[in-house]
Each structure stands twice: as structure tokens, then as C-alpha cells.
Amino acid sequence: MTDTPDTIPQITDSHCHLDFPDFDGQLPNVIARAAAAGVTRMVSICTKLANEPTVRTIAETHKQVFYAAATHPMNVAEEPMATLDQLITLAKHPKFVGIGETGLDYHYTSESAGIQQQSLRIHIEAARQTDLPLIIHSRAADDDMARILTEEFKTGAFTCVMHCFSSSAELARATLDLGFYLSMSGIATFPKSQALRDIFAAAPLDRILVETDAPYLAPLPHRGKRNEPAYSAHTAQLGADIFGLDYVDFAARTQANFDRLFPKAALYKGMG
């Protein structure tokens, strides 16, 4: 028997970028394809606060879309530093559900490491004060990331997801020990990603999310093409295989995980 959209298990694409030019003029069809694949919610991430009005409008226009905003670590050297008050004000919007993505990226922008760390700490404080989850980007910065998150957590607790996790087992353990979540992207489906799959397999199932990071990092069988939220179903199928579950069970577990980490999205009843 073929599943229909009403019977397909529901999942959430916890991280995508629907404001990027790759989706210009295509969002209704992109969201419809997501729904047909069982992807009934998605969080669109704003990476420059100057673009927040655009991302907010997308969330206001499409009931399936929530959003988060921050200054991406690769942008901090060229963008005005986000302020705590600015982030707290943005967080008042009913569909604003997370602080991010923020973090550290020393692969492409190591020269701005100092300002990246300063920006990260501002965003952490915003997550604390708003009770919204922090959404972390971390690349080639494992030691500093583990140190800063641990230091800041000792100062005051906050919740967090390590988005598109593809770092070391050591960083995974450090963040899981703090109670944080790991998000699985299409990278985990790539043939050479066995070490990453092993990291996810060793993690608690109740700390796993799935995402696309669309338009980037399309999973197999779409690798090399533009990614879109519907394809998070392929990553979720891999996740089910990793944890030895059927797809229905894994989908339900990741939905529960998302609702726990993003309660504002889970409790959303509509604007007005």
C-alpha cells in the first residue's frame, strides 16, 4: 500500500535557509513537496540580522515555517555586532523559535576568531534570557567551542543544538554531557561518513534532530543537487537505520525531541 501525505510519518526539518536565492519564487512548491514527504514543519534560519525581515515574512506567510535569527560566525567581521537587546526583541515574535545560527568557523574565517567568540557569547546570553534554544554552527573550532559552551553553561544553563553536526567524537561527547542535541544532516548519508554515523549511533536517541541545511548538503540520492526540506526524509531514514528502528518510530522520536527543544514551535497555535 502506498502512503499518502496524511499517513506518512511526520518529521521536522530543524534547519534550512528558505530566504536564499536558490528558492526565489519557488517556496509554495518547495513547501508542498515537503508536506508530501511528511515534512510538516521547518525552521528557516536567518544568518544576517539585516535579512531578518525577509525571513520573518516567509514564516508569517507559510504556516509550516518557523524561524530563528543571529549573526553567522562567517559574517561577524563584516556585519554590525548583534546586541542582546536586539536579539531579545526579535524573540518576541510568535514564530521566532531559536537563537542562531551562531558559533565558530575557523575553516574559512579563522582571522576573525576573537570577534566570533565575542558574538557567540552574546548569543548564548540571549538564549538564556529568552529561554529559546541556541543553534550552533561549529567548523574547525572544536576545542574553543567545547571550552566556551562549557564555561557559559556553568555561568547559567541554556539549551542548544549542534546544527549539521560533523565534528569530532570529543565535541559530541562534550556537548551531549551538557544536555545538548545533535542534528543530523545529509552529510551523514555520504559513503565516507562512517565515522560520523558512528558518533550518532553512540548518542542518546532522545537528543537527535534531523535537518537539511538547504539549499546545501543534499543527502543521497540527491547529492550534488540543490537541497530542500523534503529531502530531510532521506536523512531521517538513515537515522532510523543507524538506531535500528523502523521509520515510523524514528520519526516519532525526532518529533518528540524537536518539541522538547523547541517548545515555542510545539505550542504555536497561530498568529493573532
CATH number of the structural domain spanning residue 195: 3.20.20.140
How far is the C-alpha of 235 from the C-alpha of 239, rounded, in Å?
6
Angle separating helix axes 232-242 and 194-202, nearest 10 degrees: 70
Give a yes or no: residue 4 inside a domain: no
- The DSSP secondary-structure symbol of 103 reads E
- Tell me, rounded to whole angstroms, the distance of Cα 26 from its chain centroid: 22
Three cell numbers, residue 110: 579563522
In angstroms, the CA 103 to CA 70 distance is 10
Q: What is the pLDDT of residue 269?
A: 87
Would 105 be classed as within a structural domain? Answer: yes
Q: Is residue 224 included in any domain, yes or no?
A: yes
How far the first Cα of the chain sits from its last, in Å, is 40
1 lies in a domain? no
List C-alpha distances in Å: 105 to 48, 75, 108, 115, 116: 15, 10, 7, 11, 8
Within 10 Å of residue 232's Cβ, how many Cβ atoms?
A: 33
> Any idea how long the chain is?
272
Cα–Cα distance between 32 and 38 in angstroms, integer? Answer: 10
pLDDT at residue 270 in the model: 78
Report pLDDT for 271: 59
How many Cβ atoms are within 10 Å of 119's Cβ, its own excluded?
24
- Per run of 10 residues, the mean pLDDT along the chain (length 272 residues) is 63 98 97 97 98 98 97 96 97 98 97 98 98 98 98 98 98 98 98 98 98 98 97 98 98 98 94 50
Number of compact structural domains in the chain: 1
Which cell is 254 given? 525526532
Residue 23 pLDDT: 98
What pLDDT is attached to residue 197?
Answer: 98
What local confidence, expressed as pLDDT, does residue 7 receive? 80
Cβ neighbors of 202 (< 8 A, separation 6 or more) are 169, 172
pLDDT score, position 42: 98
User: How high is the pLDDT of residue 4?
Assistant: 44
Q: Assess if residue 98 is contained within a domain.
A: yes
58 in the Ramachandran plot: left (φ > 0), alpha (ψ -120 to 50) or beta? alpha
**Integer-rounded Cα radius of gyration of the chain:** 17
Residue 162 lies in a domain: yes
Which of 90, 89, 83, 85 lies closest to 67, judged by CA?
90
Residue 229 structural domain: 11-266
The answer as to whether 2 is a domain residue is no
Amino acid at 143: D
- What φ, ψ does residue 72 adopt, rounded to 5°? -60, 145
Closest CA to 16 of 250, 170, 266, 217: 217
CB under 8 Å to 131, separation ≥6 — which residues? none
Q: Within a domain: residue 161?
A: yes
Question: What pLDDT is stored for residue 88 in this prediction?
Answer: 98
